């Protein structure tokens, strides 16, 4: 169980919540780690319990999503909005992907859900979470 002071510190961080058993999600986390040179993104597996400890109940989805959630400045984002907000934290040229937020949300989420539904076929499933390098470990919470 995290201490209230620890949770309070995390409230000001940008945190990517990902499916720890999804090879596609773990690969995406590795890509984000490599291309977030400012090191201002943090990570927690959806299975860690950190999401429920940090985010007020009324913001939590009724069912955990198929892939990622993004917590930023006290708000929780899902699906394409989460992915494109995360892209904004990446180094150029990947940060340009965030401009796709101009596309209507319904279309973006349709494409996102298609990829999310097929992610195990794309990259497989794993029974263990990724092991970050010692240098990356400080960016994982929970």
User: pLDDT at residue 32 above 70?
Assistant: yes
CA distance 27 to 30: 5
The DSSP letter of residue 91 is P
Alpha-carbon span 106 to 113, nearest angstrom: 10
User: In which band, very low, low, confident or very high, does the pLDDT at 5 lie, cut at 50, 70 and 90?
Assistant: low
Q: Count other C-beta atoms under 10 Å from residue 45's C-beta.
A: 22
pTM of the model: 0.82
Q: Does residue 124 have a pLDDT over 70?
A: no
User: Is it true that the peptide bond before 93 is cis, omega within 30 degrees of 0?
Assistant: yes
pLDDT over 80 (residue 70) = yes
Q: Are 100 and 81 in contact (CB under 8 A)?
A: no
What is the tens place of the pLDDT at every residue in 90-119?
Answer: 999 999 999 999 999 999 999 988 887 886
Q: If DSSP codes are grouped into helix, strand and coil, which group holds residue 89?
A: coil
Mean pLDDT, residues 121-132 taken together: 59
The single-letter DSSP state of residue 56 is -
Is 136 exposed, middle or buried (CB count within 10 Å of its CB: 0-12, 13-18, 19+)? middle
């Amino acid at each position: 169980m995290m201490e209230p002071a620890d949770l309070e510190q995390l409230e000001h961080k940008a945190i990517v919540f990902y499916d720890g058993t999804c090879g596609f999600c773990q690969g995406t986390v590795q890509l984000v780690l490599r291309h977030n040179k400012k090191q201002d993104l943090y990570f927690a597996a959806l299975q860690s319990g950190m999401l429920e400890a940090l985010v007020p109940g009324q913001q939590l989805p009724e069912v955990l999503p198929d892939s990622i959630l993004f917590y930023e400045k006290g708000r929780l984002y899902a699906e394409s909005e989460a992915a494109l907000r995360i892209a904004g934290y990446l180094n150029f040229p990947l940060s340009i992907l965030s401009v796709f937020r101009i596309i209507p949300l319904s279309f973006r989420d349709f494409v996102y859900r298609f990829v999310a539904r097929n992610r195990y076929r794309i990259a497989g499933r794993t029974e263990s979470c990724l092991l970050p390098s010692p240098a990356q470990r400080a960016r994982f919470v929970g």
